[in-house]
Amino acid sequence: MVSSLERVAGRITAPRGERILGWATLVAMAASAVMSLVVSPPDAQQGNAARLLYIHVPSAWLAYLSFAVVFVASIAYLATRRTRWDRLAAASAEVGVLFTALAIALGSLWGKPVWGTWWTWDPRITTTTILLLIYVGYLAVRRLSDSPARRARWAAVVGVVGFLDVPVSYLSVTWWRGLHQGTTIRLLGESTIAPIMQVALMTGVFAFTLLFLYLVTVRLRLGRLEDRAVAEALSPRLGQSAEALLEQEASARG
């Protein structure tokens, strides 16, 4: 299973796949912008502020998706010791930190007009913030070691442990926010959304997922170049010069 996954990943991250992915992302993002800003009507209660839904929810989805990818890639690295899994974990963590911060910032902007506050210690918001801090720590650990192999092992351990910490943190924060046991009236019912807004939201989620794949692909290529440059610097007679590698990469893409 692992090898077939690697094959698919290899095809996407090839220069041609990356170019196609880039264009697909651009088209999907444009479609999402049109859906969110033009096609979707304003919300009956919130007016235009509700349009934040179409970027806030996809960002939050990417936050959790990317750290799940870090978790799986970290386990795969520890099991196979292939550098590509470590590069995938690193790429996904960097993109994930970006979108987690974006989701929190957008949620805060949205919370002010709708709830009346920039910040509330709501379980989901608080857990997302803890998630962000854990993966900022993950990126800090990646900068600790000079040895690539050791860096990859350390990061993989943090990637696994950090992900397992998230459900426990979520439970603790949920209980912490509760007053005490008892029954409650449901102010927050099942979420219902008008069909056209649902379509706009799905477009946003799809476009952001493509964006995630594209950013990870670009970061993977960068990681490969970095590794080759390091290898070349360490053994100049065996490898080609870094400039030659960059030119080769550029001509393959152009």
* Site of interaction with another protein (CB under 8 A): 41-50, 53, 78, 112-117, 120, 130, 133-134, 136-137, 140-141, 143-146, 150, 153-154, 156-158, 160-162, 164-165, 167-185, 187-194, 196-197
Minimum distance of another protein from residue 91's CB (angstroms): 20
Minimum distance of another protein from residue 196's CB (angstroms): 7
Identity of the residue, 31 or 78, whose beta carbon is nearer to another protein in the bound complex: 78
Handedness of CA 210, 211, 212, 215 (dihedral sign): positive
Identity of the residue, 190 or 235, whose beta carbon is nearer to another protein in the bound complex: 190
Interatomic CA distance for residues 55 and 170, integer angstroms: 23
Identity of the residue, 10 or 41, whose beta carbon is nearer to another protein in the bound complex: 41
Amino acid at 10: G
The answer to whether 221 touches 234, Cβ cutoff 8 Å, is: no
Interatomic CA distance for residues 34 and 203, integer angstroms: 10
Burial class (CB in 10 A: 0-12, 13-18, 19+), 7: exposed
Minimum distance of another protein from residue 97's CB (angstroms): 13
Identity of the residue, 189 or 254, whose beta carbon is nearer to another protein in the bound complex: 189
Minimum distance of another protein from residue 202's CB (angstroms): 13
Identity of the residue, 38 or 168, whose beta carbon is nearer to another protein in the bound complex: 168
Minimum distance of another protein from residue 173's CB (angstroms): 7
- Max Cα distance, the chain (Å): 73
Interatomic CA distance for residues 140 and 107, integer angstroms: 26
Interatomic CA distance for residues 57 and 97, integer angstroms: 15
Interatomic CA distance for residues 205 and 58, integer angstroms: 5
Minimum distance of another protein from residue 224's CB (angstroms): 23
Identity of the residue, 146 or 234, whose beta carbon is nearer to another protein in the bound complex: 146
**Could you tell me the CA-to-CA distances from 60 to 9, 131, 204 in Å, in that order?**
24, 11, 12
